[in-house]
Amino acid sequence: MKVTPDIIRQEIIGTDGKVVKSTCPSLKGLSGTIVNETRNTFTFLAEGKKRMVAKDSSTFRFRFFDHTEVEIKGSLLVARPEDRLKKSIRRLW
């Protein structure tokens, strides 16, 4: 997968994710599979438990199916999944 600003439009559910930074210290380092996404949160399945993480206050590292790893600020992902997939992306870096 080519890493471009369009990476924000990728489907996140089903990928492996890790919380790299968070305002909540107990969530930092949490890793697992993304099983659900809402406008403001991701739900991780980690060690058999579901944990909800706010998008806006965290930075995530995702590992996609082709083993590409990308670190994304959660504030860029705040939107309903179906709206995030449709929106046009301006150059972010």
Pick the CATH number of 15-80 from 3.30.930.10, 2.30.30.210, 2.40.50.140, 3.40.50.620: 2.30.30.210
CA distances (Å), origin 7, targets 4, 45, 49, 78: 6, 22, 27, 14
DSSP assignment of 34-92 equals EEEE-SSEEEEEETTEEEEEESTTEEEEEE-TTS-EEEEEGGGG-S-HHHHHHS-----
What's the pLDDT at 66? 85
Residue with tokens 């439009």: 9
Tens of pLDDT, residue by residue over 29-86, are: 999 999 999 999 999 999 999 999 999 999 999 998 888 899 999 988 888 888 877 7
What are the domain boundaries of the chain?
15-80
